[in-house]
Structure 1
Amino acid sequence: MKTLVLQENRVIFTVIKQRAYHYVNVQDGEYAECQKEDAIGVFLEDKNMIVPTEYIFVDVEDIPDGVVTGKYCYAEEDGFYLDPNWKEPPRTPEQLDEAFNEMNLHQTEVELDVDFRLSNLELNLHK
């Protein structure tokens, strides 16, 4: 049996040994085990990392072949399913170039919007 660590949106963040985690807070500058209600995070023992307390921990018997962290979600009523927001990463130079162009276009749009808003503020045209 394994424990799934799910983000709040049910996307699988990682998989750990069954119940290999504990809640922690900070005492005297060090992480210390504590009760859930006092925790600032959850320490994953076999990953040696701390995740937010909002993450969800679910024990499962088995993980189907092909299920990948970050790409799949899990809900007890639905089982494993593909994250509806998942996009395949670029695999060819052309796809990579297209992805960079999309990011640059978005960044340019944001910069233009910020410039427009600042200009309006400078000219006292804001409402």
Structure 2
Amino acid sequence: MTRRPAWRRPAWFARPAARIAFQHRLAACGQQVRVTRPPHRHRGGFALAVRLRVPDVMEQTVSIVFSPGAPEVPYVYADGPSESPHRYSDRALCMWFPYDPPEQRWTRSDGPAALLGHVVAHLLREEWWRRTGEWPGEEAPHGT
């Protein structure tokens, strides 16, 4: 006899109203936002593409992806230059240490505008690093 897996609450983005609200709150930041298909490894998730225009950084599209396996953790990808000491092997931005306390990383209760702030700050740090070789701000140790 096989056991059925325990019931788990659906991801927050399983409800259309929650997805639409997140998208509209992100668009309220003055950026162009559209819903996209999540990458294959995040199949069944929720993804948005945001066209970012940040002074001193080239204009680029950022993909914000929420995966069913970890619905509270955003995976963020940028289509601009990817040389950075703070990117994962799949080119996702490494914006904070995953085990940092909530006040040091983004949580959904912070809202989409705060997430966009983390993304912009990270992209500015990457640009500074490319120009100077120095990473401004705190760093956590990285594996390969």
The structure with the largest strand share of the pair is 1
The structure with the largest helix share of the pair is 2
TM-score normalised to structure 2 length: 0.23
